[in-house]
Structure 1
Amino acid sequence: MPEGKIIKALSGFYYVLQNDEIIQCRGRGVFRKNKITPLVGDEVVFQAENVQEGYILEVKERKNELVRPPIANVDQAILVFSAVEPDFSPILLDRFLVLIEFNHIQPLICITKLDLATPEQHLKIEQYVESYRRAGYVVILTSSETEVGIEQLFPQLENKISVFAGQSGVGKSSLLNALKPELDLKTNDISSHLGRGKHTTRHVELIHVGHGLVADTPGFSSLEFTNIDAEDLTFCFPELQKESEYCKFRGCLHLKEPKCGVKAAVESGEIPAFRYEHYLDFLQEIKDRKPRY
């Protein structure tokens, strides 16, 4: 049986990419009965008489799935943050990073609007960039206006499913336009290339950018730590996870426990103070969360 990847879901139809051909498929009735909803990004087994009449027979096991946007098997999240307008926000970036690490998605940090930053702002951004790179993150500095850094993004997209995420106004659409000018996306409207009217249903579609696939709707509209427990949080900060091996007690939350490897690394400057402070803020937020029943 042939296999392919769902690249669009719309009005009960699933558009499956196999090699360079797109086959329009429906899901089997048994999916509804078993409460299985095929998602964009799913690897599926299907059968088809022609490109208009196919049926999805099986949804392969997913490595991850997001609720917003509804998409599966995401390889990486490109976190788009502006240097200015709006000002760079390390605490918001860390919130995104925690959610992405928790979902086992590879993050890539992309800082935009470098052309608008003053020399002082540039210097501050560079200091943050050094901290994130030291923690193991890939950081690319870009400007959609001058096209600085755009070429560095193409190899990162290759053979991957990527979602773009970040706060409003940071230049996600401008960045996608710089990567693929024929998209001609309007600012604040990542899905305008599909030509939908105002009242049509929004849907997720994977579009070819370079040699990869990019979700055409922004990721992570909810930034709550709903499913993350206090014990999980260390694993969402790579540099804390590394230093936690030197903690005396297993399950150390790096608060007041004696002989804590993380606190020692913060004191020595190995872990940046701002990252540890954000960890403490998020830990408190998780502890204050109302219990779920």
Structure 2
Amino acid sequence: MPQGVIVKALSGYYYVLPEGADLRTAVTITCRARGIFKKKNVSPLVGDQVTYELTENGEGTVTEIFSRSSELIRPPIANVNLVVLVFAVTEPVLNLQLLDKFLVHIEHTGIDVLLCFTKRDLLAEGDATETKEMTVAELDRIHKLYTDIGYDVLTTSSKLHEGVDAIQQRLKGTVSVFAGQSGVGKSSLLNEMISGLELETNAISQRLGRGKHTTRHVELLPLEDGGFVADTPGFSQLDFMELEVEDLGSCFKEFAVLAEGCKFRGCLHLHEPSCKVREAVSEGTVAASRYEHYLLFLNEMKDRKRRY
């Protein structure tokens, strides 16, 4: 039975690239999924390695889904090596709480992360506290915060074509996914990276201060130097349905190492004595913003448990 990879999912159809074919030149097989998957509460995902059988009308049916090396719920995609978390420095305003929430979800999967701050050309020079614009100095501070934690961070400007080559080198030979808020410039960046690609882009809503959803489905796109990258719909919020309270601390990279020295096993870093995480926050070696977001997420998860 032929094998392939799902490169796009849309309205119940799965577009399968036959094994060994080049996505830039090959025709994908339009497939439906076998009913047995629904009974097992399993949905095929973009990125899935599958077997399929051809039907009389030239389409196909997905008959088997191979074991996944990784899986993301939002965005829904399988078998990726790298998540490129894309946030604009402004328009929309950089939301570090939402950024940290995305990082928690990705850390829980164990997939590598690259932070990409877009729209560098919109940075303000000097002091912009009155206008609340992001400044070069503030972005430098944020850049240092996340690199000190251990994340790879790149800054780009599609308008000025800055940082695009660095992103391309990082994605070479990988299966990666672009994720983040709506309107942060994911599609613009992909248009710069892949010649001939003309993904729809939209301006930021001035009334709401956030982007419109220009990408409406998940789709793998071929990179010229090898590998695939997926564009995905943007999100304005995430929940913690797949996480337990006890898992949260380990999803903050800088907490995980410190927690080994906590007095109590399973320390939640709240009021427990001899908590190394709280000590590090007091000493300034763990950023106060990260700990504040941890507490917010912890309360959100506890509230969810009380409701259910």
Distance 1:213 1:113 in 2: 23
- Compute the displacement of 1:180 (Å): 1.9
Amino acid at match of 2:281: V
8 Å contact kept, 2:183–2:234: no
> Which residue in 2 is equivalent to 1:195?
none
Structure 1 residues 20-31: aligned runs within 5 Å: 20=21, 21=26, 22-31=28-37
Alpha-carbon spacing, 1:35–1:256, altered in 2? closer, same or farther (3 Å): closer
- Matching residue's letter, 1:15: Y
Structure 2: gaps of 5 or more residues:
127-134, 203-212
Equivalent residues of 1:68, 1:221 under 8 A apart: no
Could you say which residue in structure 1 is the equivalent of 2:143? 129
CA distance in 1, matches of 2:110, 2:185: 25
SS of 1:182's equivalent? coil
Aligned to 1:60: 66
TM-score by length of 1: 0.85
Give the aligned CA root-mean-square deviation in angstroms: 2.6
The change in CA–CA distance for 1:62 and 1:221 in structure 2 (over 3 A counts) is farther
Q: Do residues 154 (structure 1) and 165 (structure 2) align? A: no
Q: How does 1:100-249 map to 2 (within 5 A)?
A: 100-120=106-126, 121-188=135-202, 190-191=214-215, 202-210=216-224, 211-218=226-233, 220=235, 222-249=237-264
Q: Go from structure 1 to structure 2 and tell me whether the alpha carbon gap of 1:10 and 1:125 turns closer, same or farther (over 3 Å shift).
A: closer
Aligned to 2:87: 81
CA contact (8 A) 1:114 1:143 kept: yes
Matched, 1:19 2:20: yes
Could you tell me how far apart the structure 2 residues matched to 1:32 and 1:276 are?
Answer: 41
Give me the whole-angstrom Cα distance separating, in 1, the residues matched to 2:234 and 2:5.
Answer: 19
Do the aligned partners of 2:89 and 2:139 also contact (CA within 8 Å) in 1? Answer: yes
**Greater alpha carbon shift after TM alignment, 72-81 vs 137-146:** 72-81
Q: Are positions 1:285 and 2:300 aligned together?
A: yes
1:33/1:248 CA distance change after superposition, 3 Å: closer
When residues 8 and 169 of structure 1 are mapped into structure 2, their CA distance, relative to the original with a 3 A threshold, is closer
| Aligned residue in 2 for 1:198 | none
Between 29-38 and 112-121, report the one with greater CA deviation: 29-38
Render the CA deviation track for 1:196-251: whole Å, top value 9, x for unaligned. xxxxxx54321213423222322556411223222111111000111111111101
Counterpart in the other structure of 2:6:
6
Distance 1:244 1:116, change over 3 A: same
Q: Is the 8 A contact 1:23 1:50 kept in 2?
A: no
SS at match of 2:84: strand
The 8 Å contact of residues 177 and 184 in structure 1, kept in 2 or not, is answered as yes
Alignment coverage as a number of residue pairs: 283
CA, structure 1 residues 118+65, in 2 after alignment: closer, same or farther (shift >3 Å)?
same
Letter in 1 for 2:84: I
The aligned amino acid for 2:290 is R
Q: How far apart, CA to CA, are the structure 2 residues paired with 1:24 and 1:226?
A: 32
1:51 and 1:266 mapped to 2: Cα distance? 63
1:255-270 counterparts in 2 under 5 A? 255-270=270-285
1:116-136 deviations in Å (ceiling 9; x for gaps): 212341111111111101111
Relative to structure 1, is the Cα distance of residues 27 and 187 closer, same or farther in structure 2, using a 3 angstrom cutoff?
Answer: closer
Cα distance change, pair 14–91 in 1 and its aligned pair in 2 (3 A) = closer
- Alpha-carbon offset, residue 139 of structure 1: 0.5
Tell me whether 235-244 or 208-217 shows the greater mean CA deviation: 208-217
Residue identity (%): 51
**Is 1:274 aligned to 2:295, yes or no?**
no
Contact 1:164–1:219 at 8 Å: present in 2 too? no
Alpha-carbon distance, 1:149 to partner? 0.7
